[in-house]
Amino acid sequence: MAVILTGAILSLVRHAARHAWAVIAVSLALLAAATFYVAGHFAMSTDTGTLINPDTPWRRDGAAVEAAFPQLKDAIVVVVDGQTPELAEDGATRLYDALQTAPNAPLESISRPDGGRFFDQNGLLFGDLAQVQSATKALIDAQPMLGGLAADTSLHGIASTLDTLAKGAMDGEQDSSRLATPLGRLADAVEAKLAGKPTYFSWTSLFGASTGPLAPPKRRLLILHPRLSYGDLEPGAAAVALVQDQAAKLGVDAAHGMRIGITGEVPLADEEFATIREGMGLIGALMLGAMLACLWLAVRSARMVGAIMATILVGLVITLALGLLAVGRLNVLSVAFIPLFVGLGVDFGIQVAVRFNAERRSGADMAEALTRMAKALGEPLGLAAAAILLALAAFLPTDYTGIAELGIISGLGMVVALLLNLSLLPALLVLLRPAPPARDVGWAGAAPLDHWLHCHRRGVVTAFVAAMVLSIIALFWVHFDFNPLHLRDPATPAMREITTLTQDPDRTPNSISLLAPNAEAAAALARQLAQNPEVAQAITVDSFVPDAQPLKLALIEDAALLLDATVNPFALDAPIADDATTVAALRQASTALLGLAKARHDATGAQAARLASALARLAAATPEKRAQVSAMLVPPLAQTMAKIRASLSASTITRDNLPPEIRNAWLAKDGRALVQVTPSGNGADNATLERFTKAVLAIAPHATGLPVATQAAAQTVAHAFIVAGILALALVSGLLWLVLRSLREVAFTLAPVVLSGFLTLGTCAVIGQPLNFANIIAFPLLFGVGVAFHIYFVMAWRQGFSDLLQTSLARAVLCSALATGSAFGALTFSQHPGTASMGLILMISLVWTLVCALVFEPALLGPVAIAPPAQED
């Protein structure tokens, strides 16, 4: 087998040297064809859901839930925060309406999960009985204020109402002790606005509960489902841009007391790819510069550097075309074939060029130098390529589809890289005719180190074995960070927003979903889950059917009877727009409040005095200042009065009369019901999520959702790498045994590869670098480069070379590792944490691979019994 392989490679190199122009012409034709094919067929999917086999049990569970409830997939979450509950509601309502009516909007659907007419009318029913009683009592107690405000929702009406309240309190017609809080809050707001400070006022908070489920929220959500194009790097960019544009037009911004945030799986994915692209120009320049520098160090010839780079470029394009032909489109993992191809392509090119230089230095002419190079490197290069091909193919039987496709493309790339480095590169060398090297290609200065390794080989091997044992022990502290959010730049808008939401127990995205056969089964399952301390709440369709409705509705009906005429006056006064009339009302209210302050020497009197002073100053201010105070007080007043009227018309809720948007969100067409479970504690903490997921799966094994999917994906990935690692080791061992026919030499080849892997993992434990979905891709490259390096050394040792560090091979290995390590170490400068961690582990793994190749391998091999063959003349 080895003889056949060497003969074929020798024939290929000789043919390339004799017919250089023809080889280059064929290569250019292949490059043109590949470029044409790529231009017409390039496709890349950013759908991370395609990275793992859809037939895995947890993927099937997720697909079942998404099929029944499509709104759970591919969502954009729009968060509207307001300085007051009214501002949050106003911003969310206007933005919802604008998006619904926007022409050609790239949206499939839009919903308001926490707002709308249903919640405005029936919101009181979702408190417990004591809270409903307290809320209705507060409204009844506010009747004197509500009457005047309902009749005239203007600054004039507010002033007139305050005048009436103050006089009524002085006459003893009402309990003045209840006025301290509203008078104080109004005084605070008017004083701040007169001082020119940005101030907002909430009537809802004034009349409603301040804590508990009935407290008016200052955060509202919109859920959008955009039309996505996975062929784009940012499939949801158009929908996000629409939201931002509409928000800007509507004034849903900080200048108007509101803040908009956009997050969800779609914008998170879009921002991730934008972050990866950010700075890639600089990173690409650093990678290219580092690679060119290392190539120059290896060959000391600009012409040879150009030949190697041209070979890599041609091979990269051809591999891309073959990859698209084989798998149809790239994914976010298979695109990593580029560093794999470049790293191993550079290695093949350096091996060929350095050995060629060594033969030229020994006096061989161009053709003879290429022939000797082919004889010396044919077998190890072919064996290395075959071993890498088998190692990459080991991922094919696993469920990690993304890496399996990477293996297919990279395997094709290995074949392309080998063929081009043994055909195109020799042809380019013949035509470019680089000058022979002026000094020795090997490193004679490494003789003392070779001697030291021979003399202390037992100690060196023992030290490395001890290091391996320590690394194995350190594996206890190596962990896989399954949280995909940790791979993303925390400074991006969507990441900042989702970090905030994970800390919001009512809106955390880290919820678990599961299907129940029907609504009754869902309710029973929710009750069972809610008893677990790891669960904050379990929501079903019946969560929207309040309990104790007869008692709560009785309280609301009593309040409605007392307040109906107050909040629904038969004759509404037209809002007063005349400034002079408003000024008169303000002065009259100030006089009445001042009288109340003199009559009362308590908190109410103190707050009345403050508000009297503020209203007097407002009356004396400019019309513009009064307009500003009116804009602060009047719009939220109108919204609050509308909500009070709606809340007093609550009616009995059943599962059957729920609004269609709620029923459809929780009940599938076939009757199956959705249960959503949220975690107790910190929803952003991995340990909390692990306990939460474990507790839910113990009760509902087919549950799905972000916490389940991320942890299951981590297990799938880890299992894929373990299976692929074992299979790759077995396949490569079998290949090496077929060629080497020596178990000892097979062990000599693979032991350093295994050692460098454990040392890399041990280093990760020491520096606290967790493995994740991004940086684990470094390990196939580690295995590929490591196998290649050690095959080169073992094959050289078999040929009789014991002083390995003095050979041109050591120079080639060192420069190859430096080229790959320094080039892809530039990834550590990426703004994307996942990419940066991949660059870091690539550097660490290549450092250990190099140390094992140049120190451990020579010590392990030791001296040889035969002398190396003489160079041919």
- List pLDDT tens digits, range 442-472: 777 888 998 898 889 899 999 999 999 999 9
Q: Which residues contact 260 (CB under 8 A, 6 or more apart)?
A: 78, 79, 80, 81, 91, 95, 243, 244, 247, 252, 253
- Residue 250, Cβ density class (10 Å: 0-12 exposed, 13-18 middle, ≥19 buried): middle
d(CA 227, CA 255): 31
* pLDDT the model gives residue 534: 93
- Tokens 């380019």, residue located: 428
* pLDDT the model gives residue 851: 92
Residue 110: strand pairing partners: 224
* pLDDT the model gives residue 830: 76
* pLDDT the model gives residue 210: 64
- Measured in whole angstroms, the distance separating CA 516 from the mean position of its chain's CA atoms is 30
pLDDT in tens, 792-840: 888 888 888 878 888 888 888 888 888 877 767 777 877 778 778 888 8
Long-range contacts of 730-733 (CB under 8 A, 24+ apart): 731/390, 731/391, 731/393, 731/394, 732/387, 732/390, 732/391, 732/787
- Measured in whole angstroms, the distance separating CA 292 from the mean position of its chain's CA atoms is 33
Residue 840: strand pairing partners: none
Residue 399: strand pairing partners: none
User: Kindly report the CA angle at 675 between 673 and 679, in degrees rounded to 5?
Assistant: 175
Contact status, residue 601 vs residue 568, Cβ threshold 8 Å: no
* pLDDT the model gives residue 266: 86
d(CA 841, CA 821): 10
Q: Which residues of the chain have pLDDT under 50?
A: 870-873
- Tokens 């489920």, residue located: 213
d(CA 795, CA 383): 10
Domains and CATH numbers, the chain: 2-39+274-483+710-861 (no CATH), 74-118+217-273 (3.30.70.100), 122-214+546-641 (no CATH), 484-545+656-706 (no CATH)
- CB-hemisphere CA count at 13 Å for 285? 3
* pLDDT the model gives residue 872: 39
Contact status, residue 329 vs residue 45, Cβ threshold 8 Å: yes
d(CA 376, CA 382): 11
Nearest to 812 by CA among 308, 289, 287: 308
Q: What is the pTM of this model?
A: 0.76
Residue 315 Cα distances to 31, 283, 312, 334, angstroms: 8, 22, 5, 16
Contact status, residue 849 vs residue 818, Cβ threshold 8 Å: no
